């Protein structure tokens, strides 16, 4: 059974500091999965937990939206809910100064529409 987006949120609820690691593990599995497996990995909406940073669930929605677009897969309806749009801009790693301009320019549209600004390769794996 492949890891799901719901799993990322669930496992991160115990240790928010592990969020990036869980996302990376998910991406590794997603990129190796079949189209049918990928659909199952993203269909269940993640649940918020006490102590989650505000950006966490919007980031997961943006990630699923981008992956769905990149892999020509059906995007789950939950990613389009208003609750996954940040009220204030959020710059990845609390970026300051001129680097914000880079993030504003290169963030994938699926992140920008949620008021999240990340690097263009945020979903890439080495």
The Cα-based distances of 27 to 49, 63, 123 in angstroms read: 22, 10, 7
CA dist 31 and 13 (Å) reads: 24
Q: Could you give the 3-state DSSP secondary structure of residue 91?
A: strand
CA dist 97 and 94 (Å) reads: 10
| Span 5-53, pLDDT tens digits | 999 999 998 888 899 999 999 999 999 999 999 999 999 999 988 778 8
| Span 86-104, pLDDT tens digits | 999 999 777 777 788 888 8
């Amino acid at each position: 059974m492949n890891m799901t987006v719901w799993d990322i949120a669930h496992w991160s609820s115990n240790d928010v500091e592990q969020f990036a690691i869980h996302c990376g593990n998910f991406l590794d599995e997603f990129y190796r999965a079949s189209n049918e497996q990928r659909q199952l990995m993203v269909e269940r909406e993640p649940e918020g937990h006490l102590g989650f940073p505000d950006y966490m669930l919007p980031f997961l929605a943006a990630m699923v939206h981008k992956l769905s677009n990149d892999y020509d897969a059906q995007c789950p309806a939950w990613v389009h809910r208003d609750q996954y749009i940040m009220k204030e801009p959020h710059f990845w790693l609390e970026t300051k100064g001129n680097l914000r301009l880079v993030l504003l320019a290169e963030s994938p549209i699926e992140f920008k529409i949620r008021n999240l600004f990340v690097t263009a390769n945020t979903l890439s794996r080495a």
